[in-house]
Amino acid sequence: MAFPAGFGWGASTAAYQVEGGWDADGKGPSVWDTFTHQGGERVFQNQTGDVACGSYTLWEEDLKCIKQLGLTHYRFSLSWSRLLPDGTTGFINQKGIDYYNKIIDDLLTNGVIPIVTLYHFDLPQALEDKGGWLSEAIIESFDKYARFCFSMFGDRVKQWITINEPNILAIMAYDLGVFPPGVPHFGTGGYQAAHNLIKAHARSWHSYDSFFRKEQKGMVSLGIFAGWAEPADTNSVSDQEAAKRAIAFCLDFFAKPIFIDGDYPEVVKSQIAFMSKKQGYPSSRLPKFTEEEKRMIKGTADFFAVQYYTSRLVKYQENKKEVGFLQDVELQVFPDPSWKRLDWVYVVPWGIRKLLKYIKDTYNNPVIYITENGFPQGDPASLDDTQRWEYFRQTFQELFKGTSYKWNHIIYDFFGLLH
Which residues are annotated as catalytic?
Answer: 165, 372
Distances (CA, A) of 14 to 117, 125, 205, 238: 8, 17, 21, 39
Question: How far lies 63's CA from each of 74, 110, 112, 418, in Å?
Answer: 10, 9, 10, 16
Give 374-379's long-range contacts (Cβ < 8 A, gap of 24+): 374/309, 374/416, 374/417, 374/418, 375/309, 375/342, 375/343, 375/345, 375/347, 376/342, 376/343, 376/344, 376/345, 376/418, 377/342, 377/343, 378/343
SS3 call for 322: coil
DSSP string, 290-303: -HHHHHHHTT--SS
Distance between CA 191 and CA 197 in Å, rounded?
A: 10
Report d(CA 419, CA 76) in Å as an integer. Answer: 10
Residues 6 or more apart in contact with residue 337 via CB below 8 angstroms: none
